[in-house]
Amino acid sequence: GAVVSQHPSRVICKSGTSVKIECRSLDFQATTMFWYRQFPKQSLMLMATSNEGSKATYEQGVEKDKFLINHASLTLSTLTVTSAHPEDSSFYICSAPLTGKNIQYFGAGTRLSVL
Amino acid sequence: QKEVEQDPGPLSVPEGAIVSLNCTYSNSAFQYFMWYRQYSRKGPELLMYTYSSGNKEDGRFTAQVDKSSKYISLFIRDSQPSDSATYLCAMSAYYGNNRLAFGKGNQVVVIP
């Protein structure tokens, strides 16, 4: 079946550094991908919609300069957490809709811990 | 009123029991209904996908959609300890708008 690959699965970094998370659609192309953040025992919170060939669309309250999104190709979107701080520690998940169907497949998630 | 309501209360059942989960929603434009299973520290995994009203069965899982009542259900028969996870309902309005509205998720524990 359709698979979305997300890398890395775990990141521990020092405060002030930048962290890049990759999301790849395998076996299908995705002109749109989605980035979510999930706090413990909470549902997924949509951060932004990544659009291939154009700027990402950010949800209200999400800092564009803090969370840089680049959709470089039809199979790859990246989320860069810039100048990370402890409050950015969270579980980040990407998803991509299968071509021709209105369903989304999710990556395995990235657990970010900022010290 | 939130778009999707899902009682997040944890649910514990003995092995072999039927697990019944449900969500209600307010947006009558929703046409695509999904159930995801999420294990701890993992991304959600698509379990079932239904378009419009009706039932869909896949092995031990059955999804039901009642658009007239704006109510969807997921049933898990012969539950196993490996079914212990959080179950999220999700829905979207129409083809081309892939934005999903999620329920809060139900944590299910199947006790051996």
pLDDT, averaged across chain B: 91
- The pLDDT > 70 percentage for chain B reads 95
pLDDT in tens, B66-102: 999 999 999 999 999 999 999 999 998 865 556 889 9
Instruction: Tell me the shortest Cα–Cα distance from A39 to chain B, in angstroms.
Output: 11
How much of chain A is helix, strand and coil, in % rounded to 5? 5, 55, 45
Ramachandran area for residue B39 (φ above 0: left; ψ -120 to 50: alpha; else beta): beta
Average pLDDT over residues B47-62: 92
Query: Using H for helix, E for strand and C for coil, what is the string for B6-47?
Result: CCCCCEEEECCCCEEEEEEECCCCCCEEEEEEECCCCCCEEE
pLDDT of res. A2? 57
List of chain B residues whose C-beta atoms are within 8 Å of the C-beta of residue A44: 44, 88, 102
Cβ–Cβ below 8 Å for B98 and A108? no
Low-confidence ranges of chain A (pLDDT < 70): 1-2
Cβ–Cβ below 8 Å for B41 and A91? yes
**What does the alpha-carbon distance between residue B112 and residue B110 come to, in Å, rounded to a whole number?**
6
pLDDT of res. B82? 96
List of chain A residues whose C-beta atoms are within 8 Å of the C-beta of residue B36: 106
Cβ–Cβ below 8 Å for B94 and A6? no
Is the pLDDT reported for residue B29 higher than 90? no
pLDDT in tens, A51-83: 988 899 999 999 999 999 999 899 999 999 999
Q: How close are the terminal C-alpha atoms of chain B, in Å?
A: 38
Most A-contacting residue of B3, B46, B94, B107 (CB-CB within 10 A), to test interface = B46
pLDDT of res. A1? 57
